[in-house]
């Protein structure tokens, strides 16, 4: 159902469509033209001769070459209808079949019209600069097909966009199609939304089958029928699995493209379209009564729209800005469309986009919300406002003496950071501490120097990180959420924020406000090389990059204990990935294998001193089961316990009923209908018609409208799992009453009915599983969970296609003595490991604009001074030599820099310029000009002149 896109040569496209004509339809339907290019070329009815000429870049009626299409005839966009719609065509009457085809045709036509209006481009070269030009016209040949190569029903249209478009001056140019490939998912979503609305207006119900990709099917068409008529999909999947075994180093996308080609059969032209339809009808009847199917799908009530467009836009903006500060127009519209499939037209979405006053345009196709812009502007404003507003806690000499007496083994980076914290006058300072550089040891020194626990507060994004901060530095610590939820706040504090790279803009802004309110100061401690924040904004990194706050650096490696590990730390820190892989390969520390039994055995060699890190949650689950099955021999000492495991729904899935199940546990994250944050309930029933769930909480039934409030809840699956004595477990949810933090680990030491006794940090804790059952096996953990942990040996199972610089850095720097990496492809891992995670803020756009304006002003100043000074020396020659374009010659290329400021009346041709240059040479005044420009290049302190 996804939109596919590919370039095609003239030979390939002409032959392909010529073979298909009159084959797919009993009515012998042929191609159709669409686009402004039809009128521009005076095309009428579609015919293959015209099509073939245009594929070769030749005018259809004249012996004239329009463009060079020798390498690319055009770009094929294939719009495929959901399988349920294709099945309806096969089993319905002729009249209904035509209606469905029309619904598909209109959806394709509307999508292509929008593409033509906003994404038709060519390139041109002006004054040596290559630029992209919007043309707003395309020529498109459409071919509708309705069966697959396996003769399964599959309604789809090949929209072939020819490699030509017309500039405003009527010149035909080759099409620049980068935006077509870049936005193919967006175009596919437009088509699906248009089609779903058309289908609903015909009286059919729709069901969202995959909200992440924006897929739907017609309600009432069973999974059995869909599977029966999906032979081509099955064929491609089988081919993919076979190719995956043959070529383990190829990435998934490439393998799937190969699978499509490898499994493609020649079209069976022995059967005509009538016979094919008859056979498909027979296949359908063998599974279900067709008349009953048609009765069950037709004439569903066309319900009113669930939410207004503004409400959908607000939800979509919240989803996007929960993760990123900035986004594109296409990304926002696609998100809105996936939330509202079958409810609105494209024009409705575009109109709402233009009138949304909360959207702020930062740059060409770069947007943010007014809320995020104000938050990040306010951060900058207050950082600047509160510079030098505090007295330093101690003098540098006193601090240095304290270090010598108490922490003489500190590295240079630790000393500098210690002094930065306590001898700082600003509201905020930052510590950029590389992995394993001894950040918490340095903070222990800060705590000891202050010697007043009431005046220093440790904070972190996660409970596990706050726990480790307090344990290692002796600073009383909590999560940011716990901190903000307290009723009273102390004045004159130092807020030490650990793992600050995980904080987004909203958290930083809230912390700054609280610090100003309480006359406190903030110390941000973190590592920009580790994982970026889950929430919007890379503020910690951006503040360092822009030099907006005082930053000290801790880059000495303390954790690594061997020469090899020190070398690996150094390489991954400096992003010298090639050198890191040389070290790994030369020491047999990386293996191309995803054999989970082999990885399990490696871990069991020394499980007490090993940390097993995986990049995929599915691998974590399988490895945990494999390892515990090898370890747990005495089943009599095991217990079956109901645990709760997060369903990990993404922000879109939370809004659709199909992702919920009865008896799941629901936790309210934001207040809904009188239910406070933290309230726990159980799903009693699910209503597909109203897209809502009924939960029982606080001794009453509450209906939650998922479209409106889905983002305010989290759900947990209730699973029955076996646990044994000596089992290693990890807690997955905080609990204040028994002092458990999400991410902490423990060992089971006993059972008593519903009570589980665990050993955690040399303390024994009893857990009533009727009250708290958020825990799981902890032999393998994800790389995100591993951040902040260390071990003598680290074993890594990394998916090459998910890898990046940040993940490799985190994985390797958990190890003290040894690391061993298992991966499905070393070659692909090398390629992806050089790519860093990217997070944007609005700050970088505002700062960039300020710098650009400053540079422009400085450039204008320099150009004005240069022009005035040269004219004053050359006198009448200066008057004659004023020209609009470029430089006069290589010898005096800096003579004129302000060509765009010169008046049209002083245009002269090149020959006159050369003649005047010769005059200058004869009069030996050229050296004066050269010397003058050289002096000006060295001296930029001149006052602004009036120029010309």
SS3 124: strand
Kindly tell me if the per-residue pLDDT of 420 is higher than 60. yes
Chain length of the chain: 948
Query: Looking at the predicted structure, is the pLDDT value of residue 90 above 50?
Result: yes
pTM of the shown model: 0.80
β-strand pairing of 359-363 with 590-592:
unpaired
CA distance 570 to 550: 24
For residues 97 and 90, what is the distance between their CA atoms, to the nearest angstrom?
8
Count CA atoms closer than 13 A to 877's CA, side-chain side.
Answer: 20
- pLDDT of the residue at 878: 41
Nearest in space to 185 (alpha carbons), one of 315, 85, 330, 76:
330
Q: Is 747 exposed, middle or buried (0-12, 13-18, 19+ CB in 10 A)?
A: middle
DSSP H or E stretch at residue 926: helix 926-938
CATH no. of 644-722: 2.30.30.30
pLDDT recorded at residue 341: 94
The secondary structure of residue 787, as a DSSP letter, is: T
Give residue-wise pLDDT tens across range 673-728.
889 988 999 999 999 888 999 999 999 999 999 999 999 999 999 999 999 999 99
CA atoms of 500 and 539, how far apart (whole Å) = 9
Helix axes of 252-262 and 231-246: crossing angle, nearest 10 degrees: 120
> In CATH, which of 3.40.50.620, 3.40.50.970, 3.10.20.740, 3.40.50.300 is domain 386-554?
3.40.50.300
pLDDT digits (tens, 9 = 90+) for 323-373: 888 999 999 999 999 999 999 999 999 999 999 999 999 889 999 999 999
Share of the chain above pLDDT 70, in %: 81
Minimum mean pLDDT among 7-16, 246-255, 397-406, 466-475: which range?
246-255
Q: According to the per-residue pLDDT averaged within each range, which of 477-481, 482-486, 517-521 is highest?
A: 517-521
pLDDT tens digits for range 530-580: 877 666 667 888 888 878 889 999 999 999 999 999 999 999 999 999 999
Q: Any idea which of 34-43, 350-359, 438-447, 741-750 has the lowest mean pLDDT?
A: 741-750
pLDDT of residue 810: 93
Q: Where are the chain's structural domains?
A: 4-297, 309-373, 386-554, 644-722, 842-938
Judged against a pLDDT cut of 90, whether residue 912 lies above it is answered with no
CA torsion 693-698-699-703 (nearest 10°) is -20
- Whole-number pLDDT of residue 893: 41
The C-alpha atoms of residue 641 and residue 729 are separated, in whole angstroms, by 13
Cβ partners under 8 Å of residue 261, min gap 6: none
Interior angle at CA 938, CA 934 and CA 940, nearest 5: 120
**Predicted confidence (pLDDT) at residue 881 exceeds the cutoff of 80:** no
**Nearest-angstrom CA–CA distance, 775 and 624:** 13
Domain 386-554 identical in fold to domain 644-722? no
Mean pLDDT over each residue of the chain, to the nearest integer:
84
The reported pLDDT for the residue numbered 28 is 45
C-alpha span between 655 and 457 (Å, rounded): 38
Which H or E element spans position 918?
helix 910-922
pLDDT for 870:
42
Question: Are the CB atoms for 731 and 775 separated by under 8 Å?
Answer: yes
Compute the average pLDDT of residues 164-177: 92
Give the DSSP letter string of 267-305. Answer: P-TTS-HHHHHHHHHHHHHTTS-HHHHHHHHS----PPP
Span 386-404, average pLDDT: 95
pLDDT category of residue 910 using cuts at 50, 70 and 90: very low
Instruction: Give me the DSSP letters along 817-882.
Output: EEEEEEES-HHHHHHHTTPPP----HHHHHHHHHHHHHHHHHHHHHHHHHHHHHHHHHTHHHHHT-
Q: How far is CA 686 from the centre of its chain?
A: 31
Q: What is the pLDDT of residues 581-616, one digit of tens each?
A: 999 999 999 999 989 999 999 999 998 899 999 999
Assign domain 309-373 to a CATH class: mainly alpha
What confidence score (pLDDT) does residue 914 get?
47
What average pLDDT does range 216-221 have in this prediction? 93
* Residue (of 261, 6, 253) closest to 831 by Cα position: 253
Q: DSSP string covering 574-618, please?
A: TT-HHHHHHHHHHTT-EEE---HHHHHHHHHTTGGGEEEEES-HH
């Amino acid at each position: 159902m996804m939109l596919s896109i590919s370039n095609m040569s003239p030979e390939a496209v002409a032959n392909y469509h010529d073979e298909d004509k009159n084959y797919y339809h009993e009515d012998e339907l042929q191609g159709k033209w669409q686009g402004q290019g039809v009128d521009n070329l005076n095309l009428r009815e579609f015919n293959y001769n015209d099509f073939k000429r245009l594929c070769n870049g030749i005018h259809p009626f004249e012996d004239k070459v329009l463009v060079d299409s020798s390498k690319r005839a055009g770009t094929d966009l294939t719009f495929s209808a959901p399988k349920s719609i294709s099945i309806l065509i096969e089993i319905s009457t002729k009249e209904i079949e035509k209606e469905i085809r029309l619904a598909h045709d209109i959806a394709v036509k509307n999508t292509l019209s929008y593409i033509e209006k906003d994404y038709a481009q060519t390139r041109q070269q002006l004054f040596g600069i290559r630029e992209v030009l919007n043309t707003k016209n395309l020529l498109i040949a459409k071919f509708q097909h309705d069966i697959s190569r396996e003769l399964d029903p599959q309604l789809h249209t090949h929209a072939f966009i020819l490699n030509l478009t017309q500039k405003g001056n009527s010149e035909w140019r080759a099409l620049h199609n980068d935006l077509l490939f870049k936005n193919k998912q967006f175009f596919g979503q437009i088509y699906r939304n248009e089609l779903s609305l058309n289908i609903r207006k015909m009286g059919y119900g729709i069901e969202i089958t995959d909200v992440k990709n924006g897929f739907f099917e017609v309600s009432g068409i069973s999974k059995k029928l869909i599977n029966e008529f999906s032979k081509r999909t099955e064929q491609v999947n089988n081919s993919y699995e076979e190719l995956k075994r043959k070529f383990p180093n190829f990435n998934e996308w490439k393998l799937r493209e190969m699978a499509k080609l490898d499994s493609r059969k020649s079209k069976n032209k022995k059967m005509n379209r009538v016979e094919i339809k008859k056979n498909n009808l027979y296949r359908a009847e063998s599974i279900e009564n067709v008349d009953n199917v048609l009765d069950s799908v037709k004439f569903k009530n066309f319900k009113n729209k669930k939410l207004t467009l503004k409400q959908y836009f607000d939800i979509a903006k919240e989803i996007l800005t929960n993760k990123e500060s900035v986004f594109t127009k296409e990304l926002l519209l696609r998100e809105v469309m996936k939330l509202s499939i079958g409810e609105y037209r494209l024009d409705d979405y575009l109109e709402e986009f233009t009138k949304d006053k909360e959207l702020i345009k930062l740059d060409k196709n770069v947007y943010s919300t007014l809320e995020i812009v104000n938050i990040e502007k306010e951060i900058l404003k207050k950082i600047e406002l509160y510079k030098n507003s505090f007295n330093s806690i101690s003098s540098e000499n006193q601090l240095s003496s304290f270090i010598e007496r108490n922490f003489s083994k500190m590295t240079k980076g630790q000393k500098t950071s210690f002094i930065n914290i306590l001898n700082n006058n600003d509201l905020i300072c930052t510590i950029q501490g590389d992995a394993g550089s001894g950040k918490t040891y340095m903070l222990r020194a800060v705590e000891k120097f202050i010697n007043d626990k009431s005046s220093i507060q440790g904070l972190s994004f996660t409970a596990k990180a706050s726990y480790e901060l307090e344990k290692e530095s002796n600073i009383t610590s909590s999560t940011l959420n716990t901190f903000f939820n307290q009723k009273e706040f102390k004045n004159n504090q130092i807020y030490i924020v650990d793992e600050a790279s995980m904080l987004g803009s909203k958290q930083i802004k809230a912390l700054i406000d609280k610090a100003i309110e309480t006359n406190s100061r903030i110390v941000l401690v973190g590592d920009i090389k580790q994982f970026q924040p889950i929430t919007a904004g890379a503020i910690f990194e951006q503040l360092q990059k822009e030099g907006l706050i005082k930053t000290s650096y801790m880059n000495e490696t303390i954790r690594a204990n061997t020469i090899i590990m020190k070398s690996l730390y150094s390489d991954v820190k400096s992003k010298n990935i090639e050198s890191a892989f040389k070290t790994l390969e030369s020491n047999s520390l990386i293996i191309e294998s995803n054999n989970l039994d082999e990885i399990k055995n490696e871990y069991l060699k020394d499980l007490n001193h090993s940390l097993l890190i995986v990049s995929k949650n599915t691998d974590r689950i399988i490895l945990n089961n494999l390892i515990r099955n090898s370890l747990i021999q005495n089943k009599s000492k095991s217990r079956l316990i109901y645990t709760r495991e997060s369903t990990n729904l993404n922000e879109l899935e939370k809004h659709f009923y199909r992702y919920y199940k009865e008896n799941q546990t629901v936790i309210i994250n934001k207040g809904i209908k009188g239910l406070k944050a933290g309230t726990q309930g159980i799903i009693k029933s699910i209503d597909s018609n109203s897209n809502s769930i009924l939960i029982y909480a606080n001794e009453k039934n509450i209906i939650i409208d998922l479209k409106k409030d889905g983002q305010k809840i989290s759900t947990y699956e209730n699973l029955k799992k076996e646990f044994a004595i000596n089992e290693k477990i990890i807690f997955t949810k905080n609990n204040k009453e028994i002092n458990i933090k999400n991410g902490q680990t423990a060992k089971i030491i006993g059972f008593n009915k519903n009570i589980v006794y665990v050993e955690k940090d040399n303390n024994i804790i009893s857990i009533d599983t009727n009250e708290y059952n958020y825990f799981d096996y902890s032999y393998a953990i994800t790389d995100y969970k591993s951040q902040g942990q260390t071990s003598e040996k680290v074993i890594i199972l990394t998916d090459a296609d998910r890898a990046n610089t940040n993940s490799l850095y985190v994985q390797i720097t958990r190890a003290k003595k040894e690391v061993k990496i298992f991966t499905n492809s070393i070659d692909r891992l090398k390629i992806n490991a050089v790519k860093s995670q990217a997070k944007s803020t609005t700050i970088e756009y505002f700062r960039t604009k300020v710098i650009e304006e400053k540079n422009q002003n400085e450039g204008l100043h320099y150009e004005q001074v240069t022009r005035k000074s040269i004219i004053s020396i050359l006198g009448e020659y200066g008057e004659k030599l004023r020209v609009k374009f470029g430089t006069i010659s290589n010898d005096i290329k800096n003579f004129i820099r302000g060509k765009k400021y010169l008046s049209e009346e002083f245009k002269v041709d090149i020959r006159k310029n050369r003649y005047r240059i010769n005059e200058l040479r004869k009069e030996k005044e050229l050296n004066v000009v050269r010397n003058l420009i050289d002096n000006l290049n060295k001296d930029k302190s001149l006052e602004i002149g009036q120029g010309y």
